[in-house]
Amino acid sequence: MKRLLLIIVLFVTVMPARADHVRVRLFSTNSVSTLNVSFDLGSYNLYGDDGTLIEDLVGEGRSVLIRPEAGRLHVSVNDDDYGLFGKVRLEATDTACILCINPEGCKQRTYEGNLEVTPSAGGKLLLVGDVEFETYIAGVVQSEIYGQQSDIFRIQAIISRTWALRNIGKHRADGYNFCDAVHCQAYLNRCIRPDIMLGVIQSSGETLVDSTGALIETPFHSNSGGQTANSEDVWRTALPYLRSVQDTFSLGMRQSDWVRTISADRWLNYFSKTHHLNTADSAVRDSLLHFSQPVRQARLLGVPLTRVRLDWQLKSTFFSAEIDSTTNNVILTGHGYGHGVGLSQEGTIRMVSLGYTYDSILRHYYTGAILHHNPSASLNYVENYTAQLARIIEEDSQRSTQVRSKKDDWLGRLFRIRDREEREEIYIEEEQDNEQDWQYEW
């Protein structure tokens, strides 16, 4: 019987490596000293060192407490104390399983897949999620972009998938593939929106490649301010598909404009002390106090604008400076948010709303890039689950004010549809509550 993956048949692009699961470090920017794990859906087996079973079928109503002790992990489940282990792994017993991960001092997150916990330096915990690749992509899309239309999420899924496959070994030396922060891609929760998952599924088998068939770099940012940047103006390397383009679609959006006020003395002292410019020279002062960027520039009097942005924590490098003689302040009038290279997310949102197709939007931001459709991606699979998700979205829209139980969770419904199709059974929704394998207390 054909095995279907969690949300999508994982395609193998032009890269020879296969990545149906990925390991993602969770809470990578937090210092985790104590961890409580509870269960939102399904049950998990709890394993210790060398795969030793600590307790099986841990599910709703139970919680696992893990804390470091003497370089190992102290583990308890509710009131049962199981002692010390070198590593702990929570492994899902089925596809429809959801973990609630609650480190002390951090906001709780929920994820699908498995969880591995190991001790780290300084008496802290290292959390690594083991999740199916497309489930990870869906969580990234939800974390990285806002919007309502499925093509917005389809576009983000394509560039996030391309990046992930190109950088699959980024943290190999650390024992995982990616972290959950912007150092890699934000992955701050499981995907809880069916419209986002719809866009991800519609993008099945799609990546961006260059003329040789190699996966390209796919950087993105919040808003270009009206013009994207050349890659070499930000990262020194000139890439043919990361060219500066006019981007009027980004204008008038949430992050298209900003203003920052800095005292003239601080502004001039910064260039004098940090970059050794002679601010006593009238021509230098005039250039610093009356700086204009009608089009994007890379430098101001030889100083990289990327450095200025970093040092002053500016939203972008696309700004002009003008002295206010009344207050003796420098007014920075800026455009856009982010590094400016590649795809503008808010420009994308505008283009989708104006009816541009998802592939034309990608070509707009990635000059000369080719949208690669993997022929191994199952068209029937995509069409089937696209239809199922569309139905779920429509059902939810008709009962938007109704309080729903966990069993009404869209992902749970999709799992039940899929699981029965894998067993070559017919899914009849009104009869499912009578099936023993789904008789849970909700």
Q: Quick check: is 244 in a domain?
A: no
Q: Among 204, 220, 207, 219, which residue's Cα sits nearest to residue 162?
A: 207
Mean pLDDT of the chain: 85
Contact 218, 368 (CB under 8 A): no
User: Has residue 397 been placed in a domain?
Assistant: yes
Q: What is the pLDDT of residue 193?
A: 85
Which of 335, 366, 394 lies at the terminal end of a domain, its last residue? 335
Predicted confidence (pLDDT) at residue 268 exceeds the cutoff of 60: yes
pLDDT digit string (tens) for 194-238?
A: 888 889 988 988 999 999 999 999 999 999 999 999 999 999 899
Dist CA 405 CA 427 (whole Å): 20
430, amino acid identity: E
Kindly compute the dihedral angle of the four CA atoms of residues 114, 116, 117, 120, in this order, to the nearest 10 degrees: -140
| pLDDT of 411 above 80 | no
Residue 231 lies in a domain: no
- 295 and 414 share a domain? no
Structural domain contains residue 82? yes
- Mean local confidence (pLDDT), 171-185: 93
Whether residues 378 and 331 share a domain: the answer is: no
What is the pLDDT averaged over residues 70-88? Answer: 92
Q: What is the residue range of 142's domain?
A: 1-6+20-205+374-442
Region 52-70: mean pLDDT is: 90
pLDDT at position 237, please?
93
Q: In the numeric block, which tokens belong to residue 71? A: 């370089």
Task: Assess contact for 94 and 411: CB atoms under 8 A.
Answer: no
Query: Both 301 and 441 in a single domain?
Result: no
Task: Say if 198 falls within a structural domain.
Answer: yes
Q: Which helix (H) or strand (E) holds 372?
A: strand 370-373
**What is the Cα gyration radius of the chain?**
25
Range of weakest confidence among 224-238, 366-380, 385-399, 426-440: 426-440
pLDDT at 13 over 60: no
pLDDT digits (tens, 9 = 90+) for 285-333: 999 999 999 999 999 999 999 999 999 999 999 999 999 999 999 999 9
Give the pLDDT of residue 416: 52
Per-residue pLDDT of 84-142, as tens digits, reads 999 999 999 887 788 999 999 999 999 999 999 999 988 999 999 999 998 999 999 99
Q: Is the pTM of this model over 0.85?
A: no
Task: Please tell me the distance from the alpha carbon of residue 422 to that of residue 150, in angstroms, as a whole number.
Answer: 27
197 shares a domain with 78: yes
pLDDT of residue 433: 37
User: 220: closest CA among 195, 188, 255, 192?
Assistant: 255
Do 82 and 194 belong to one domain? yes
Share of the chain above pLDDT 90, in %: 67
Query: Where do we find the tokens 């970059």?
Result: 275
- Residues of the chain with pLDDT > 70, as a percent, come to 83
121 in any annotated domain: yes
Q: Are residues 393 and 298 in the same domain?
A: no
Same domain, 164 and 263: no
Is 224 a member of any domain? no
> What is the reported pLDDT for 425?
41
Same domain, 328 and 439: no
| Count of domains observed in the chain | 2
pLDDT at residue 423, as a whole number: 43
Q: What is the pLDDT of residue 385?
A: 67
71 lies in the same domain as 182:
yes
Q: Residue 406 in 3-state DSSP?
A: helix
- The phi and psi torsions of 199 (rounded to 5 degrees) equal -65, -40
Mean pLDDT along residues 65-86: 92
Give the pLDDT of residue 9: 31
Residues 56 and 178 placed together within one structural domain of the fold: yes
Least confident of 244-248, 266-270, 327-331, 417-421: 417-421
319, 379: one domain: no
Residue 10: how many other CB atoms lie within 10 Å: 21
Q: Tell whether the model's pLDDT for residue 12 goes beyond 60.
A: no
Give the SS3 label for residue 151: helix
Same domain assignment for residues 164 and 261: no
Query: Average pLDDT of 405-431?
Result: 49
**Domain-embedded: residue 313:** yes
